[in-house]
Amino acid sequence: MKLNDENIRFVDQWLRFSGIEYVDVRYELVDHLVTEYEQSTQQVSIEVFVKDRLKWCRSAAKDKERAMHWGIQKGLLKRFLALFKEWKILLPLLTYLLCIFFSKDLFSVRTVRFLLVAPVFLTIIAFMYQSYVKRFNKKSREQLLAAMKLGNLFALPHVFLSIFYFPSIWSVDNMRLIDNFYFMAPCILFMTLINIAAILEYREHYQRIVKEYEIIRNALA
């Protein structure tokens, strides 16, 4: 049985009133339910059909949320690993660290520390700036699961930053690890690259989500 636009809007509204708030999740569920109903041979109304599928819809919505979360984090790690092959990014960072290594005796300990951590904090600032410039308005954040999950993209780099910070304040042979270049250089390289990966992932996901949101709004209008 072919459904009209009014039937489709009913399915969307029913899902929303049933607790499935995010429009991008509802869009996929509506598409699935409409297709299933139109191919079904059951002689029941659309109202009865969707109510019978409530348990499945809620389960599918939770699966979608988990899949989206881990998909974003997996994409971040994949992008991070790919950066080790990007010499236009890797080579300047390695050159910068080597310059600090060969000139560290010319500076105070505090200055060397600052120079070492500068790339990490610069990339954090760049991510925050991009998140501000390319940000979703309040309505979009409330309606889109993808927008909400994208806002948590920098959570993984923050975890690694914490892991890096606590060992850096330990002392070995009366020397703090933060003053040990051989410990700090790999940590700084690692953190800078994962921050750059987060910036690139955010930009790509943002553009895709904006386009998809327009499609969804038009489809469910």
Residue 24 has pLDDT above 60, yes or no: yes
Which amino acid is residue 135, in one-letter code? R
Whole-number Å distance between alpha carbons of 33 and 36: 5
- Structure confidence by residue, pLDDT tens digits, 186-210: 888 988 998 899 899 998 888 888 8
What mean pLDDT comes out for the span 51-67?
90
**In the Cβ-directed half-sphere of 113, how many Cα atoms lie within 13 Å?**
10
Confirm if 65 and 25 have CB atoms less than 8 A apart: yes
Taking all residues of the chain, what is their mean pLDDT, rounded to a whole number? 83
What mean pLDDT comes out for the span 129-152?
79
What pLDDT does residue 8 have?
86
The answer to which of 39-48, 158-167, 168-177 has the lowest mean pLDDT is 168-177
Domain boundaries, the chain: 5-61, 69-220
What pLDDT does residue 173 have?
47
Residues pairing with 172 in the sheet: 175
Rounded to whole angstroms, the maximal C-alpha distance in the chain is: 84
Which SS3 state, helix, strand or coil, does residue 176 take? strand
- Structure confidence by residue, pLDDT tens digits, 69-86: 888 888 988 999 999 999
